Each structure stands twice: as C-alpha cells, then as structure tokens.
Chain A
Amino acid sequence: MKIPYYPGCTLHERALDFDVSARECAKTLGVELEELPIWTCCGAVFPLVTDSVMEILAPVRNLAYASREGDKLVTLCSFCYHVLKRANRTIRTDPEKAEKANLFLRADTEAREEIESYTREDYTGQVEVIHFLEMLRDLVGYEAVAKKVRRKLKDLRVAPYYGCMLLRPKKEMEFDDPEQPSIFEEFLETLGCDVVDFPMKTECCGGFQIVSDEDLAIACSRNVVSSAIKRGADVIVTTCPLCRYNLDKKQEEMAKEVRGFRKIPVIYFTQLLGIALGIDGEHIDFTDNYVDPRPVLAEKSLL
C-alpha cells in the first residue's frame, strides 16, 4: 500500500529520528510513505481569528499538492496534523474562504511554472488528512501490527502523552475523546506494553511558549513529566517534536529546580514501534535524546 506523506519542516530536519523510524516502521508493515514531491511549511499554528485567509494558504496549498497524489495524506507531527486538518475543514465548510484561498492558489500557478500541474483545479477539501496512528489502526489494523511484533514490550511501563493538538477542539479534530482518549493506549497494548495511565496525558507541555517564555513552558512540562514519573512510568511516548523537546530536553532545567528529580526518557511512538517490530538500530536513533532511553530499554532486554 502506497500513501502520500507530509513530513513537515521539523521532521525534515530537527526530528529526523521521528521521520526515519516512522518510514521504516511503515515499510515493515507493508506501507510505503510517499513524500509529497512538493510541500512547504504548514504554518505551525492554526489561526483562531475568523477573518484570516492568509494563514490557511500554506496548509491549503499543501493539501492541493496532496490531492494530485491520492485521496489521503498521512502526517506524524501533531502541529501539522492539527493545522492541515482544520484548514481542510475550513475549505469544506466555509465557501467564502475556500473561494479566496483558491484565488491565491491560481495566482500561484501562474507565478510558478514548476507547480503548474498541481493546482490547475480548485481544491475542494477532497483529501482526507490522517495521523500515522489512525493509519495504523484503520488502514493497517492493530491486529496486523500485533502479528508483526517480534519483541513484546510487556515489562516496559509506558506513559502515552497526547498533548493538545491531536485532540482539541474535538468538533474539528474528531480524533478521539478529548478527556479520555484511547487510540494511543490501544496502540501500546498492541505492542504488549504495560500502559501507564496518568492524569496529565492531555495537558499542555507549554508548546511554542518555550521560545518566548521558557520558565512558563518548563513549568507546564514539569507537571506532565512529574505526573508520569509518579505513576511509575519507565518512558513517556509522544507524537509531537515540540512536546518531545519540551518534555525531554528541558529536564536539565527541571532537575535544577526540583530536589531529587528523577529523569525519564521521552521518545517518539514510532521508535517504540520500531523496537517492537525488530527494526535495526540505525533507524531507531536516540542520539538526540537528552535523557537516554537506552539504559532502561537494555534493562528490560529490549535492545
């Protein structure tokens, strides 16, 4: 099965460990992620004001590119998923904005010959944006994933961290229950993990505020990390490069502020999937992690 794939800027560069592990996992599961021939940044945040057309142009342009490659578009980063899905919904539900956005796309086509073939027709919201987790559940099937598991992770206590962007707002994301989601837990159970439920799994890590107000974001992240530790987790898994950064790399600062702070590794769900599928080490790279997950994985005989 081939499926169009949108990596987004962060996975293209700073979160290569996420991108590489995901592609390899998909391959092992019989899915070929076909990166869009042309794509740009999605804009990272979705405008919450009603009059903004400019801010949805980047995601709509990417969706228009994707519409030439297939009827679905898979993405991994929570921010990209959030922005693409909401922009797509805007095109489907707001004819005025859809028309304006398409006017800009047409102007684009005239200006840039190399994308001419991509945007001849109006984009009407026909692409279905799906997250890699949804792809695993709905297209591959968790049962099929379970059959490919070569290494059961039964001794590993894993805390699934959803964060904000996958779940909220519910009526637009339609991803899972915003208060009591389960897609991540079901995925981890498929791998045989000991799933750790923790109350902060849908709380904010501080998001982009890490750039403008570091202390604020670290306080948010510390609440999330401490909650998972308190519930006895060995490792936190996430779907978002910014969450990974805030929760993992900022543990250095957290340790300075809280006496006796115990560090916990934070890894991408595709890295854990890769380990379960028996994918070799070069595709499961932990060198960018501040808190090294290898000791705990080795302790559980998973490396």
Chain B
Amino acid sequence: MRLRITSEHIKGDIIKRVEDLSGQSLLECYQCGKCSAGCPVVNEMDVIPSEVIRLLQLGQADEALDSKTIWICASCLQCASKCPKGVEFSSICDALRQIVLRKRLSTPRMDADEVSAIMVSDAPQMGVVGALRKLNG
C-alpha cells in the first residue's frame, strides 16, 4: 500500500469530523493492538481495528472509509472494553459509517428490500431494526 502522508491530510476536515462524531481522540491510541486482538470479527476485516486508527492518525481517511471493516463491526464494544487508553473503536467505526451514510458516498449498506424473507418472517425484530439502523442510517 502506498500512502501519501502530509500535514494537510493529518489535519484534514474529515479527520476532525471523525474525532468530533466519535468523541474519541485518535492520538490517544498508541497501537498496542488489544482492540484488534479482542475483536470477535477481526478475521473477516480487510483492515484491522488498530490499523484503521493508525490510518486515521496518518490522515488517510479514504482508506478507512473504503474499508470493509466499518460494515463488519457489530458494535459489541469488546474493543472499547479492552483498550488501556479508553479509546472506543466501535464509536470511531460508527462515525465512519455515518460519514458514508449521511453523504451517500458509496453503497456498501443494506436497504430494507435486501433483508431476506426468512429474516423478515423468522428473526427477532430487534435484529432487523438494528441492522437497518446501523447499515442504512
């Protein structure tokens, strides 16, 4: 991966937006990796949680916003529970999702008509409502 790192990127609006929306300070993270180690779905991610934070620290918002990771997180909050610095990756993930969903930047999200018939007829309502709120906005 080739990254172009400049102070403009690092101090960019979108990085500040992630911090504001998530309520997290990205520079608190010292890359110990406990969030990634504790994440139950890390194997499915293309960029692991601690790497997403590192990308953001380096001003690489697009890399983070384009990752599969942000749609895979189930908000179980294990990362937040494990972090020795109190950084909540799950909130950073929600912020990244919201940036995409609010601007409709791309479409890796779920529309109501994509919920399978079996889920509509069988799954607890909380699952369907939860998925659509997280993945559709």
Contact = CB atoms under 8 A, between A and B. Distances in A.
A49 B125 contact: no
Interface string A173-184: 000001100000
Contacts of B128: 208, 211
20 contacts: A9-B129, A14-B123, A45-B75, A45-B130, A48-B75, A48-B91, A49-B94, A51-B21, A204-B76, A207-B74, A207-B75, A208-B74, A208-B126, A209-B41, A211-B123, A211-B130, A211-B131, A219-B41, A219-B44, A242-B126
A210 B98 CA distance: 21
Contacts of A209: 41, 72, 74, 131
Given A13-B125, A168-B77, A212-B71, 5 more contacts: A9-B129, A48-B22, A169-B80, A178-B81, A204-B41
A8 B129 CA distance: 12
Of the candidates A45, A179, A223, the one having the most CB atoms from chain B within 10 angstroms of its own CB is A45
B73 to A, nearest CB: 9
Interface size class of A (residues with CB under 8 A): 35 or more
Contacts of A50: 20-23
A216 B21 contact: no
User: Top 3 A-B pairs ranked by shortest CB distance?
Assistant: A208-B130, A204-B76, A48-B94
Nearest to A203: B40
Interface of A: 8-10, 13-15, 41, 43-45, 47-51, 55, 77, 79-80, 164, 167-170, 178-179, 203-204, 206-213, 216-217, 219-220, 223, 241-242, 244-245, 249
Contacts of A164: 76-78
Interface of B: 20-23, 40-41, 43-44, 71-72, 74-78, 80-81, 88, 90-91, 93-95, 98, 110, 115-116, 119, 122-135
A30 to B, nearest CB: 30
A10 B125 CA distance: 6
